[in-house]
Amino acid sequence: MNIKDIAVVDLFCGIGGLTHGFIREGFNVVAGIDIDHTCKFAFESNNNSKFISKSITEITAIEIEKLLGNAKIKILVGCAPCQPFSSYTFKDSEKKNSEKWKLLYEFQRLIIETKPHIISMENVSQLINFKKEPVFNDFIKTLELEGYFVHFEIVNSPEYGIPQNRKRLVLMASKLGPIVLIPKTHTKKNFVTVMDAIGELPPINDGEFNPKDKLHFARKLSPINKLRIKATPYGGGWKDWPEDLKLECHKKNSGKTYSSVYGRMKWEEPSPTMTTHCIGYGNGRFGHPEQDRGISLREASILQSFPKDYDFFDNADDFSTVMVARQIGNAVPVRLGEVIAKSIKKHLSI
Protein backbone atom coordinates (compact mmCIF):
# COMPACT_ATOMS: atom_id res chain seq x y z
CA MET A 1 0.00 0.00 0.00
CA ASN A 2 1.33 3.42 -1.01
CA ILE A 3 0.33 6.38 1.13
CA LYS A 4 -0.28 8.34 -2.09
CA ASP A 5 -3.24 6.03 -2.74
CA ILE A 6 -5.02 7.36 0.36
CA ALA A 7 -7.28 10.42 0.65
CA VAL A 8 -8.50 12.01 3.88
CA VAL A 9 -11.35 14.45 4.58
CA ASP A 10 -11.41 16.22 7.96
CA LEU A 11 -14.86 17.14 9.27
CA PHE A 12 -15.07 19.90 11.91
CA CYS A 13 -11.48 20.71 10.93
CA GLY A 14 -11.11 24.07 12.68
CA ILE A 15 -7.65 25.54 12.17
CA GLY A 16 -6.23 22.16 11.24
CA GLY A 17 -4.76 20.49 14.33
CA LEU A 18 -5.88 16.99 13.32
CA THR A 19 -5.18 17.65 9.64
CA HIS A 20 -1.67 18.91 10.38
CA GLY A 21 -0.91 15.74 12.32
CA PHE A 22 -1.95 13.65 9.31
CA ILE A 23 0.05 15.80 6.91
CA ARG A 24 3.16 15.45 9.06
CA GLU A 25 2.74 11.71 8.63
CA GLY A 26 2.56 12.01 4.84
CA PHE A 27 -1.20 11.71 4.26
CA ASN A 28 -3.07 13.65 1.60
CA VAL A 29 -5.79 15.59 3.41
CA VAL A 30 -7.78 16.76 0.42
CA ALA A 31 -10.11 19.05 2.37
CA GLY A 32 -11.27 20.25 5.74
CA ILE A 33 -14.86 21.22 6.44
CA ASP A 34 -15.99 23.58 9.20
CA ILE A 35 -18.82 26.04 9.72
CA ASP A 36 -16.41 28.60 11.23
CA HIS A 37 -15.13 30.62 8.27
CA THR A 38 -12.53 32.37 10.47
CA CYS A 39 -10.48 29.16 10.44
CA LYS A 40 -9.89 29.30 6.68
CA PHE A 41 -6.57 31.17 6.67
CA ALA A 42 -4.85 29.07 9.33
CA PHE A 43 -6.13 25.81 7.85
CA GLU A 44 -5.15 26.49 4.25
CA SER A 45 -1.88 28.36 4.78
CA ASN A 46 -0.38 25.66 7.01
CA ASN A 47 -1.72 22.55 5.35
CA ASN A 48 -1.86 23.08 1.58
CA SER A 49 -5.40 21.76 1.69
CA LYS A 50 -8.82 23.09 0.74
CA PHE A 51 -11.04 24.65 3.40
CA ILE A 52 -14.80 24.39 2.90
CA SER A 53 -16.88 26.68 5.10
CA LYS A 54 -20.11 24.79 5.48
CA SER A 55 -22.21 23.14 8.16
CA ILE A 56 -21.95 19.38 8.24
CA THR A 57 -25.75 19.30 8.14
CA GLU A 58 -25.54 20.75 4.63
CA ILE A 59 -22.77 18.46 3.36
CA THR A 60 -23.90 15.67 1.07
CA ALA A 61 -22.39 12.29 0.36
CA ILE A 62 -21.86 13.35 -3.25
CA GLU A 63 -19.65 16.25 -2.10
CA ILE A 64 -17.56 13.97 0.13
CA GLU A 65 -17.22 11.37 -2.61
CA LYS A 66 -16.02 14.00 -5.08
CA LEU A 67 -13.38 15.16 -2.61
CA LEU A 68 -12.13 11.62 -1.96
CA GLY A 69 -12.14 10.84 -5.68
CA ASN A 70 -10.67 7.54 -6.86
CA ALA A 71 -8.45 6.97 -3.85
CA LYS A 72 -7.90 3.30 -3.06
CA ILE A 73 -8.30 3.98 0.66
CA LYS A 74 -10.77 6.63 1.79
CA ILE A 75 -10.60 8.07 5.30
CA LEU A 76 -13.06 10.30 7.13
CA VAL A 77 -11.93 11.91 10.37
CA GLY A 78 -13.26 14.59 12.65
CA CYS A 79 -14.09 16.00 16.05
CA ALA A 80 -17.71 17.02 16.51
CA PRO A 81 -18.00 20.16 18.68
CA CYS A 82 -17.52 18.85 22.20
CA GLN A 83 -19.24 21.45 24.40
CA PRO A 84 -22.46 19.38 24.64
CA PHE A 85 -20.50 16.53 26.24
CA SER A 86 -18.31 18.55 28.62
CA SER A 87 -18.31 18.21 32.41
CA TYR A 88 -19.76 21.69 32.71
CA THR A 89 -22.68 20.82 30.45
CA PHE A 90 -23.31 17.55 32.28
CA LYS A 91 -23.92 19.50 35.50
CA ASP A 92 -26.82 21.45 34.07
CA SER A 93 -29.14 19.57 31.75
CA GLU A 94 -30.86 22.79 30.75
CA LYS A 95 -27.64 23.98 29.10
CA LYS A 96 -27.43 20.98 26.79
CA ASN A 97 -27.55 22.02 23.18
CA SER A 98 -29.30 19.17 21.41
CA GLU A 99 -28.50 20.63 18.01
CA LYS A 100 -24.79 20.21 18.66
CA TRP A 101 -24.85 16.66 19.94
CA LYS A 102 -26.89 15.80 16.86
CA LEU A 103 -23.79 16.70 14.86
CA LEU A 104 -22.41 13.30 15.81
CA TYR A 105 -25.44 11.77 14.11
CA GLU A 106 -24.63 13.88 11.05
CA PHE A 107 -21.10 12.43 11.11
CA GLN A 108 -22.74 9.01 11.33
CA ARG A 109 -24.97 9.84 8.35
CA LEU A 110 -22.01 10.70 6.15
CA ILE A 111 -20.24 7.49 7.15
CA ILE A 112 -23.27 5.42 6.16
CA GLU A 113 -23.67 7.27 2.87
CA THR A 114 -20.02 7.44 1.79
CA LYS A 115 -18.72 4.19 3.31
CA PRO A 116 -15.08 5.23 3.89
CA HIS A 117 -12.64 2.43 4.59
CA ILE A 118 -11.41 4.00 7.84
CA ILE A 119 -12.81 6.60 10.21
CA SER A 120 -11.54 8.31 13.32
CA MET A 121 -13.45 10.44 15.80
CA GLU A 122 -11.91 12.46 18.64
CA ASN A 123 -13.96 13.99 21.44
CA VAL A 124 -14.11 14.72 25.16
CA SER A 125 -13.86 11.68 27.40
CA GLN A 126 -17.25 12.42 29.00
CA LEU A 127 -19.00 11.39 25.78
CA ILE A 128 -18.82 7.77 26.97
CA ASN A 129 -20.94 8.68 30.00
CA PHE A 130 -23.56 10.69 28.15
CA LYS A 131 -26.68 8.98 29.54
CA LYS A 132 -29.38 11.50 28.63
CA GLU A 133 -29.22 10.50 24.98
CA PRO A 134 -27.62 7.29 23.63
CA VAL A 135 -25.59 9.21 21.05
CA PHE A 136 -22.27 7.40 21.55
CA ASN A 137 -23.76 3.92 21.81
CA ASP A 138 -25.82 4.58 18.69
CA PHE A 139 -22.68 5.68 16.89
CA ILE A 140 -20.79 2.49 17.77
CA LYS A 141 -23.70 0.16 16.98
CA THR A 142 -24.20 1.82 13.61
CA LEU A 143 -20.53 1.42 12.71
CA GLU A 144 -20.61 -2.26 13.66
CA LEU A 145 -23.76 -2.84 11.61
CA GLU A 146 -21.99 -1.17 8.68
CA GLY A 147 -19.19 -3.73 8.92
CA TYR A 148 -16.58 -1.72 10.82
CA PHE A 149 -14.17 -3.09 13.39
CA VAL A 150 -14.44 -0.49 16.18
CA HIS A 151 -11.91 0.46 18.82
CA PHE A 152 -12.08 3.33 21.28
CA GLU A 153 -10.18 4.39 24.37
CA ILE A 154 -9.54 7.34 26.64
CA VAL A 155 -6.18 8.88 25.79
CA ASN A 156 -4.14 10.67 28.45
CA SER A 157 -2.31 13.19 26.28
CA PRO A 158 1.05 13.29 28.14
CA GLU A 159 1.41 9.56 27.49
CA TYR A 160 1.76 10.41 23.81
CA GLY A 161 4.18 13.31 24.17
CA ILE A 162 1.66 16.15 24.37
CA PRO A 163 2.75 18.74 26.97
CA GLN A 164 -0.75 19.08 28.37
CA ASN A 165 -2.99 17.22 30.80
CA ARG A 166 -5.84 16.49 28.45
CA LYS A 167 -7.92 13.33 28.43
CA ARG A 168 -9.71 12.64 25.16
CA LEU A 169 -11.82 9.91 23.68
CA VAL A 170 -10.35 8.53 20.47
CA LEU A 171 -12.42 6.18 18.36
CA MET A 172 -11.07 4.38 15.31
CA ALA A 173 -12.92 2.06 12.97
CA SER A 174 -11.96 0.14 9.85
CA LYS A 175 -13.65 -2.08 7.32
CA LEU A 176 -10.29 -3.74 6.66
CA GLY A 177 -9.84 -5.45 10.02
CA PRO A 178 -9.13 -4.68 13.70
CA ILE A 179 -7.50 -1.32 14.32
CA VAL A 180 -5.97 0.11 17.51
CA LEU A 181 -3.90 3.08 18.60
CA ILE A 182 -0.14 2.71 18.66
CA PRO A 183 1.33 1.96 22.10
CA LYS A 184 1.92 4.84 24.49
CA THR A 185 5.18 6.64 23.81
CA HIS A 186 5.82 8.37 27.16
CA THR A 187 5.63 7.71 30.89
CA LYS A 188 5.81 10.06 33.87
CA LYS A 189 9.59 9.72 33.68
CA ASN A 190 9.74 11.47 30.33
CA PHE A 191 6.51 13.47 29.95
CA VAL A 192 6.98 16.58 27.81
CA THR A 193 6.77 19.45 30.28
CA VAL A 194 5.90 23.13 30.17
CA MET A 195 9.64 23.86 30.29
CA ASP A 196 10.31 21.54 27.36
CA ALA A 197 7.55 23.18 25.33
CA ILE A 198 7.79 26.91 26.01
CA GLY A 199 10.82 27.42 28.24
CA GLU A 200 12.93 28.94 25.47
CA LEU A 201 10.42 31.58 24.35
CA PRO A 202 11.58 35.15 25.01
CA PRO A 203 10.04 36.91 28.03
CA ILE A 204 7.27 39.44 27.49
CA ASN A 205 5.13 41.62 29.74
CA ASP A 206 1.38 41.45 29.98
CA GLY A 207 -0.26 43.47 27.23
CA GLU A 208 2.83 43.16 25.03
CA PHE A 209 3.93 40.99 22.15
CA ASN A 210 7.30 39.87 20.94
CA PRO A 211 8.23 42.02 17.89
CA LYS A 212 9.41 38.94 16.00
CA ASP A 213 6.24 36.98 16.68
CA LYS A 214 2.95 38.81 17.24
CA LEU A 215 1.27 35.60 18.33
CA HIS A 216 3.57 35.65 21.35
CA PHE A 217 1.17 38.09 23.01
CA ALA A 218 -0.12 38.07 26.59
CA ARG A 219 -3.37 39.74 27.54
CA LYS A 220 -3.13 42.96 29.56
CA LEU A 221 -3.90 42.41 33.24
CA SER A 222 -6.05 44.76 35.26
CA PRO A 223 -4.24 46.52 38.13
CA ILE A 224 -5.83 44.20 40.72
CA ASN A 225 -4.92 41.07 38.74
CA LYS A 226 -1.37 42.36 38.36
CA LEU A 227 -1.16 42.52 42.16
CA ARG A 228 -2.68 39.06 42.39
CA ILE A 229 -0.22 37.35 40.07
CA LYS A 230 2.67 39.07 41.80
CA ALA A 231 1.35 37.57 45.03
CA THR A 232 1.10 34.10 43.49
CA PRO A 233 4.12 31.90 44.24
CA TYR A 234 5.50 29.30 41.85
CA GLY A 235 2.84 26.62 41.28
CA GLY A 236 0.49 28.47 43.60
CA GLY A 237 -2.89 30.10 43.25
CA TRP A 238 -5.44 32.38 44.86
CA LYS A 239 -5.29 30.53 48.18
CA ASP A 240 -1.80 31.98 48.63
CA TRP A 241 -2.99 35.59 48.40
CA PRO A 242 -3.51 37.96 51.30
CA GLU A 243 -7.19 38.37 52.20
CA ASP A 244 -7.53 41.80 50.58
CA LEU A 245 -6.71 40.34 47.14
CA LYS A 246 -9.14 37.41 47.28
CA LEU A 247 -12.44 37.51 45.43
CA GLU A 248 -15.59 37.38 47.57
CA CYS A 249 -16.69 34.17 45.85
CA HIS A 250 -13.47 32.44 46.92
CA LYS A 251 -14.17 33.27 50.55
CA LYS A 252 -17.39 31.25 50.41
CA ASN A 253 -17.38 27.48 50.86
CA SER A 254 -18.75 27.04 47.34
CA GLY A 255 -15.81 28.93 45.86
CA LYS A 256 -13.09 27.10 47.71
CA THR A 257 -13.35 24.12 45.38
CA TYR A 258 -12.07 26.14 42.41
CA SER A 259 -8.45 25.84 43.42
CA SER A 260 -6.97 26.05 39.92
CA VAL A 261 -8.21 29.48 38.86
CA TYR A 262 -5.67 32.29 39.06
CA GLY A 263 -2.92 29.67 39.32
CA ARG A 264 0.60 29.45 37.92
CA MET A 265 1.79 26.50 35.87
CA LYS A 266 4.80 24.46 36.90
CA TRP A 267 7.82 24.11 34.62
CA GLU A 268 8.39 20.45 35.46
CA GLU A 269 4.87 19.24 34.64
CA PRO A 270 2.60 19.19 31.59
CA SER A 271 0.24 22.16 31.43
CA PRO A 272 -3.45 22.08 32.34
CA THR A 273 -5.96 21.51 29.56
CA MET A 274 -5.98 24.34 27.06
CA THR A 275 -9.48 25.79 26.70
CA THR A 276 -11.00 28.52 24.56
CA HIS A 277 -10.21 30.91 27.45
CA CYS A 278 -6.64 29.71 27.88
CA ILE A 279 -5.00 33.16 27.83
CA GLY A 280 -7.23 34.48 30.61
CA TYR A 281 -5.27 34.47 33.87
CA GLY A 282 -8.47 34.10 35.92
CA ASN A 283 -9.92 31.25 33.85
CA GLY A 284 -7.72 28.42 35.11
CA ARG A 285 -4.12 27.62 35.96
CA PHE A 286 -3.01 29.72 33.03
CA GLY A 287 -0.50 31.95 34.79
CA HIS A 288 3.07 31.81 33.47
CA PRO A 289 5.37 29.84 35.79
CA GLU A 290 7.67 32.83 36.41
CA GLN A 291 6.61 35.93 34.51
CA ASP A 292 3.80 38.05 35.95
CA ARG A 293 1.26 37.41 33.21
CA GLY A 294 -1.02 34.83 31.71
CA ILE A 295 0.34 32.61 28.97
CA SER A 296 0.57 34.01 25.45
CA LEU A 297 -1.29 32.82 22.39
CA ARG A 298 1.90 31.28 21.02
CA GLU A 299 2.55 29.46 24.29
CA ALA A 300 -1.01 28.11 24.26
CA SER A 301 -0.61 26.92 20.67
CA ILE A 302 2.68 25.16 21.46
CA LEU A 303 1.10 23.48 24.48
CA GLN A 304 -1.50 22.25 21.98
CA SER A 305 1.54 20.85 20.10
CA PHE A 306 1.25 23.19 17.11
CA PRO A 307 4.63 23.94 15.51
CA LYS A 308 6.25 27.17 16.68
CA ASP A 309 5.85 28.69 13.21
CA TYR A 310 2.18 27.83 12.67
CA ASP A 311 0.39 30.83 11.13
CA PHE A 312 -2.92 31.79 12.68
CA PHE A 313 -3.81 35.06 10.95
CA ASP A 314 -3.20 36.88 7.70
CA ASN A 315 -2.75 40.42 8.98
CA ALA A 316 -0.49 40.64 12.03
CA ASP A 317 -1.67 44.18 12.70
CA ASP A 318 -5.34 43.30 12.82
CA PHE A 319 -6.40 40.10 14.53
CA SER A 320 -8.71 39.15 17.38
CA THR A 321 -6.99 37.58 20.39
CA VAL A 322 -10.36 36.21 21.53
CA MET A 323 -10.88 34.55 18.16
CA VAL A 324 -7.42 32.98 18.04
CA ALA A 325 -7.66 31.77 21.65
CA ARG A 326 -10.97 30.12 20.81
CA GLN A 327 -9.48 28.48 17.72
CA ILE A 328 -6.49 27.16 19.69
CA GLY A 329 -8.63 25.86 22.55
CA ASN A 330 -11.03 24.11 20.17
CA ALA A 331 -8.26 22.42 18.18
CA VAL A 332 -7.23 18.79 18.28
CA PRO A 333 -3.59 18.72 19.44
CA VAL A 334 -1.37 18.21 16.41
CA ARG A 335 0.57 15.48 18.16
CA LEU A 336 -2.66 13.54 18.77
CA GLY A 337 -3.36 13.83 15.06
CA GLU A 338 0.07 12.33 14.41
CA VAL A 339 -0.66 9.45 16.79
CA ILE A 340 -3.94 8.67 15.02
CA ALA A 341 -2.22 8.91 11.63
CA LYS A 342 0.63 6.63 12.77
CA SER A 343 -1.95 4.13 14.01
CA ILE A 344 -3.63 4.07 10.60
CA LYS A 345 -0.27 3.63 8.87
CA LYS A 346 0.47 0.67 11.13
CA HIS A 347 -2.99 -0.76 10.44
CA LEU A 348 -2.33 -0.51 6.70
CA SER A 349 1.27 -1.77 7.03
CA ILE A 350 2.66 1.39 5.44
DSSP state of 214: E
Helices 135-145 and 98-114 meet at what angle, rounded to 10? Answer: 0
User: Is position 82 annotated as part of the catalytic site?
Assistant: yes
- Which of 39, 82, 249, 278 is labelled catalytic? 82
Selection from 33, 65, 36, 69 nearest residue 49 by Cα? 33
Selection from 241, 242, 255, 245 nearest residue 223 by Cα? 245
Q: Map 258-289 to HEC letters.
A: CCCCCCECCCCCCECCCCCCCCCHHHCCCECC
Please give the helix or strand (H or E) that residue 68 lies within, else none.
Answer: helix 61-68
CA distance 138 to 130: 11
Specify whether the backbone of 76 is left (phi greater than 0), alpha (psi in -120 to 50) or beta. beta
Backbone angles phi, psi at 156, to 5 degrees: -95, 110
Cα angle 80, 83, 86; round to 5: 115
Q: HSE-up of 255 (CA within 13 Å, CB side)?
A: 11
What's the Cα-to-Cα distance from 200 to each of 211, 232, 288, 299, 302, rounded to whole Å? Answer: 16, 22, 13, 10, 12
CA distance 99 to 162: 31
Active site residues: 82
